[in-house]
Amino acid sequence: MDAFYASVEQLDNPELKGKPVIVGGTAKQRGVVAAASYEVRKYGVHSAMPTAQAKRLCPHAIILPVRMARYAEISKQIHKIFYDYTPEIEPISLDEAFLDVTASIPLFGSAERIGKEIKARIKQELGLTASVGLAPNKFLAKLASDMEKPDGFVVITEQNKQHILDPLPVSRIWGIGKVTTQLFNSKGIHTIEQLRKTPLPVLKSILGNQAEEVLKLAQGIDNREVESSREAKSISAEETFADDIIDEETLLNVLFHQVEQVSHRLRADGLEGKTITLRIRYKDFRTITRSHTMSAFTNTTKLLQESAIVVFEEWYKKSAAKIRLLGFGVSNLHAEGSGQQLLFSDPNNKKQKTIDAVFDKIRGKYGDDALTRGE
């Protein structure tokens, strides 16, 4: 989806169309930008940027609170359209998913026709624009979907993939950030073609164990399958930062927002989880995960947040460094209330569930910043 949160706000309030819209926390609350309309991106505003900085770049920007319940509602409607064409859907976030339509071609025609129909239906039925990338694998499909945003439709085939890839900057490969790009550039490697033709030992000196994987991507090779979510294995949220971040308070603010988002989705889907995982990608794009399994299944925000803080602080004390991605997920899921119940229920847990229900209701109507949680 194109600038999804901001586009939904413009859809719900037509007076915002064509105006610079930021969805996120306020500058006074040290908030961050969750989404930026294309009108405000012209000023250099992007997601995960501190709202105060965004306001300096575009003083006349309109800042709106996050309304996660509304975005989740629209996301479900989008997925209903997807399911009309294939059950093989791998959600990446509320606004992005991979679809494998291989088995659908005999029913609906070519993959290109399916992609165009889905795109047209999202526009006609929901009033929103989507950018579609069609390709033989996930890396190329994601790349294609980003190439002509907004409202794009790009097809990459086995025949034209190298022609499209070669002139692109190395930064267009998954996981290559600013620092790694600078390292490549210092060795005269600026384009994907130059990277593809670089001897493997040279790549390993820059990328370490990731060299072979990156080389395959430069060749348009990605063998990962679309993992259907018909039986959810986990629910997660993550943020890739435009600039590497090490500041503890900033990272915790991002993490708390992700916990709110994930816990809300768990409750909306009638699920509870027992294992929380933090996903952290360093500036050299080395990626690690840190997990913790709780004593009981839960979907209450406070319990998930408490566990997330413990895992985060343990990582931060031992291994803190500039990172370019932070993610939070909950796995080991089952239906809410389906597990073994305690003989004596915890009154505090009941209280937290009541608080969560109130939060979900009020935020769904007035936005995620309508209420904030205390200590």
Catalytic residues, which ones?
Answer: 96
Q: What's the rounded Cα separation, in Å, for the pair 197 and 189?
A: 10
Q: Which of 176, 253, 178, 239 is nearest to 47 (CA)?
A: 239
Q: Which of 64, 65, 70, 43 is nearest to 54 (CA)?
A: 43
- Packing angle of the helix pair 4-12, 68-83 (nearest 10 deg): 100
Q: What's the rounded Cα separation, in Å, for the pair 314 and 159?
A: 48
**Do residues 309 and 328 make contact, with C-beta atoms less than 8 angstroms apart?**
no
- Packing angle of the helix pair 68-83, 111-121 (nearest 10 deg): 140
Q: What's the rounded Cα separation, in Å, for the pair 83 and 344?
A: 42
Q: What's the rounded Cα separation, in Å, for the pair 217 and 220?
A: 5
374: which 2 tokens?
């205390």
309: which 2 tokens?
């803080």
Residues 6+ apart with CB under 8 A from 41: 3
**Do residues 68 and 356 make contact, with C-beta atoms less than 8 angstroms apart?**
no
Q: At CB < 8 A and 24+ separation, what contacts does 44-53 make?
A: 45/20, 46/242, 47/239, 47/242, 48/239, 48/240, 48/241, 48/242, 48/254, 49/242, 50/250, 51/22, 51/24, 51/25, 51/26, 51/27, 52/27
